[in-house]
Amino acid sequence: METLYDVLVWLHIASWATVLLGYVLVLSSPRINGLMAHGLSAAWLLGLVLVAIASMSDDVADPNHAKVAVKLVIATVAVGLAHGTRKRPAPNPFAHVVAALVVVNVGLAYLW
């Protein structure tokens, strides 16, 4: 179970990196692109799966539920903004907001 958990953690990190890469690619004319929207959805879903595995498994340390709750709220807002404003033409100021939420979420993951 620990190996599966580790693989999913790396996929989760790759999903967040995909979102930031998608943002960097459209930085000159900001908009929400497919990399950002789908990367956010994947990261959100993988995060839920990781918390479920950590809660059920004896091999993986139990998650910090306060941290998970804060990160889940931030990620849910980012996913909602990304999918809700994806059809807006460039420049889409919500691309900056989504990228900022991602940076905050990643920062919380490593600093908390």
Q: What is the mean pLDDT of residues 18-25?
A: 95
Q: For residue 51, name the pLDDT band (cuts at 50, 70, 90).
A: very high
The answer to whether 60 and 53 have CB atoms below 8 angstroms apart is yes
Task: List all residues 6 or more positions away from 109 whose beta carbon is below 8 Å from its beta carbon.
Answer: 71
pTM of the model: 0.92
User: Structural domain of residue 35, as residue ranges?
Assistant: 2-111
From CA 46, how far away is CA 15, in angstroms rounded? Answer: 9
Give me the percent of the chain exceeding a pLDDT of 70. Answer: 100
Quick check: 44 pLDDT over 90?
Answer: yes
Quick check: 1 pLDDT over 90?
Answer: no
Q: Give the total number of structural domains in the chain.
A: 1
